[in-house]
Amino acid sequence: MDREGRSCLRMIASFLLGVGTTLALMVFYQSADLNREKYLERISFGNGTVNVLPEKLWQNDSFGNGTTVNVTSQEDPLKELKEVLRKAANDDNTVIMTQINEAFAAPGSLLDLFLESFHAGENIEHFLKHLVIVAIDQNAYDRCKSLHPHCYFLRTEGVDYKDSKTYNTKDYIDMMWLRNKFQCTVLELGFNFLFTDVDILWLRNPFTYISAGAHFVISSDGFWGDPYSVTNAANGGFLYAKSCNKTIEFYKFWYEARKRFWGNDQDVFNEIKADVVSRMKMRLQFLDTAYIGTFCQLSHDLNKLCTLHANCCVGLDNKYHDLKIGFEYWKNFTAKSADERRLGNFHWNVPVMCKL
């Protein structure tokens, strides 16, 4: 074969090799896309045993806006957290958690009212031994240690969270996503949790209304009758999460969704909740506001109410003012006889400042 023929064969071979490589890459990327599409369906449901190894507590985790949150430079930040959780957990590894900064923890503030409500509530004082208070600044942590045995300092660098943050400002949104990521870490460590905002009065046992079969249970700004309908408007200030692979993967999906939807964790949850149920097969429950109360959709039946949340309200002073009034109504109600309470002829005049 002459030189021209051999040159032609080399060109044909190179062309065929290029075509083969291109086809292989196309198959690879189509397969990757298909895997991404099927990702949610492939998540297996655990049996309570966490098979996902806990990552380091979100070192150098950027929130996408130039803010970087670094957890303390302790040698093993998870060791301290695990010890606090272990001491507070009940027999099935469940803890109650709240999160505070200096503004919420100052003397005569919402933290005091929150803790007092456990003592004045009906047979719920024992829940305090299962409560973990997560402080995000030094002053809040010091105050917690003076009041409560189970405190955890979620140290951050480069961010000051001690002051009250206005709803849905950048600092507020960052703080909510920090909370979301921390909750995921607690699940990864094998603990179930009931998270409660500190601007909530505890009056009765809310676990009564949490389905044992649910992966994730969340309170409602607006409840429309069906606890399993995604038409209910969620509120992230009071929620229960079961530690299992499905819930952990849901939390990671939720956190990643902040890149697609603007807002805090609650805003983003309301965007993805239908997808979470239909594609991840999450057993999701919304709590009835008749029992898990809210200023957004106020219940007047104190014979049913378990908690009262000062949401749909801006400003710590307003929240404290109206919760304090609500607490006094509750104490007056419980001072009545059992027959008087059963009659239900009791109505309270809250919210006041929050209504404004």
Q: Is 79 exposed, middle or buried (0-12, 13-18, 19+ CB in 10 A)?
A: exposed
Q: Could you tell me if 255 and 185 are in contact, meaning their C-beta atoms sit under 8 angstroms apart?
A: no
Q: pTM of this prediction?
A: 0.78
Please determine, for residue 160, whether its predicted confidence score (pLDDT) is greater than 80: no
- Residue 65 belongs to a domain: yes
Q: Mean pLDDT score of the chain, rounded to an integer?
A: 81
CATH of the domain at 207: 3.90.550.10
Q: Which of 112-126, 128-142, 157-171 has the lowest mean pLDDT?
A: 157-171
Q: What percent of the chain has pLDDT over 70?
A: 74
Strand, helix or coil for residue 219: strand
In a domain, 10, yes or no: no
Strand-pair category, 307-309 with 200-202: antiparallel
Q: Is residue 206 part of a domain?
A: yes
Residue 100 falls inside a structural domain: yes
Tell me the pLDDT band of 167, cut-offs 50, 70 and 90: low
Q: Give the lowest-confidence range in 65-74, 101-110, 137-146.
A: 65-74
Going through 76-199 in order, the beta strands assigned E by DSSP cover 94-100, 131-135, 151-153, 156-157, 192-196
Tokens, residue 104:
């919420």
Looking at residues 130-144, what average pLDDT do you find? 96
pLDDT (0 to 100) of residue 111: 98
Highest-confidence segment of 14-28, 186-200, 250-264? 186-200
Give the pLDDT confidence score for residue 66 in this predicted structure. Answer: 34
| 59 against 346, higher pLDDT | 346
> Is the separation of the CB atoms in 295 and 322 below 8 Å?
yes
Residue 111 lies in a domain: yes
Using the predicted structure, report yes or no on whether residue 213 has a pLDDT greater than 80: yes
Whether 150 has a pLDDT exceeding 50, the answer reads: yes
Weakest-pLDDT range from 110-124, 172-186, 276-290: 172-186
Residue 115 falls within a domain, yes or no?
Answer: yes
pLDDT of residue 25: 38
What range does the domain containing 76 cover?
A: 61-292
d(CA 4, CA 317): 89
At 1 the pLDDT is: 54
Range from 7-21, 47-61, 126-140, 176-190 carrying the lowest mean pLDDT: 47-61
Distance in angstroms (rounded) separating the CA atoms of residues 341 and 239? 29
Task: Check pLDDT > 60 for residue 181.
Answer: yes
What is the pLDDT confidence band of residue 2, given thresholds at 50, 70 and 90?
A: low
Residue 46: pLDDT over 70: no
**Across 54-61, average pLDDT:** 32
Structural domain count of the chain: 1
Q: Look at residue 132 and tell me whether its pLDDT is greater than 50.
A: yes
Q: What is the mean pLDDT of residues 237-256?
A: 96
Residue 93 lies in a domain: yes
Helix 170-188, helix 245-256: angle, nearest 10: 160
350 in any annotated domain: no
pLDDT over 70 (residue 31) = no
Using 50, 70 and 90 to split pLDDT, how confident is the model at 24? very low
On the question of pLDDT at 327 being above 50, the answer is: yes
